[in-house]
Amino acid sequence: MALELVFQIEGGDFSNAGKASSQIKKVLKQLNIDTRIIKRVVVAVYEAEVNVAAHAHRGQVKALFGETEVEVVVTDQGPGIENIEQAMQPGYSTASKEVREMGFGAGMGLSNIAKNTDNLHIESEVGKGTILTFRCNYS
């Protein structure tokens, strides 16, 4: 049976960023997944979590551990992304001054996600929110 984990994230709450990626890392370890794959998943989930905290009002991370891959869906209510292609460009960021001072806002998150996943899909509606879906194959 496939295992599913769900985590809630509040906008602006950076203290909880990393909870989902940390739990998902533990599960993948227990499933004896190749550490190289675990490292990729962890980078992608962390960046997605931080993007909800940094850019949206609230959201959730859902991880579905299948037989051959893990699927992660990150849904948020927030401003949405007007131009996804532009947002994917390394270096592009609309992060606030406060967020930048923490060292976030380099504009590297989405490209980190793209680099570390097989199958990234982003759907977004301006003024409503964003749905980010990606998979990582276990092998």
Partner 1 sequence: MKVSDLVEKYGLKVFAGQESLGKEISGGYVSDLLSDVMGHAKENEVWITLQTHQNVMAIASLKDLAAVILVKGLEPDDDTLARSREEGIPLLGTNRGTFEMAGVLFNELKSS
Ligand X SMILES: Nc1ncnc2c1ncn2[C@@H]1O[C@H](COP(=O)(O)OP(=O)(O)OP(=O)(O)O)[C@@H](O)[C@H]1O
Cα end-to-end distance, the chain, whole Å: 19
Tell me which of 22, 60, 77, 133 binds partner 1, using CB under 8 A: 22
From start to end of the chain, where are the E strands? 3-10, 58-65, 69-77, 118-125, 129-137
Measured from the CB atom, the residue of 67 and 85 that comes closer to ligand X is 85
**What are the angstrom distances between the C-alpha of 113 and each of 57, 65, 97, 101?**
21, 18, 23, 22
State the binding partner of 18 from Mg ion, partner 1, ligand X, none, CB within 5 to 8 A by kind: partner 1
Measured from the CB atom, the residue of 91 and 127 that comes closer to Mg ion is 91
Separation of alpha carbons 59 and 61, rounded Å? 7
Name the site residues for Mg ion (rule: CB under 5 A): 51, 109
Measured from the CB atom, the residue of 19 and 138 that comes closer to ligand X is 19
Binding footprint of ligand X on the chain (CB under 6 A): 47, 51-52, 54-56, 76, 78-81, 87, 92-95, 104-110, 130
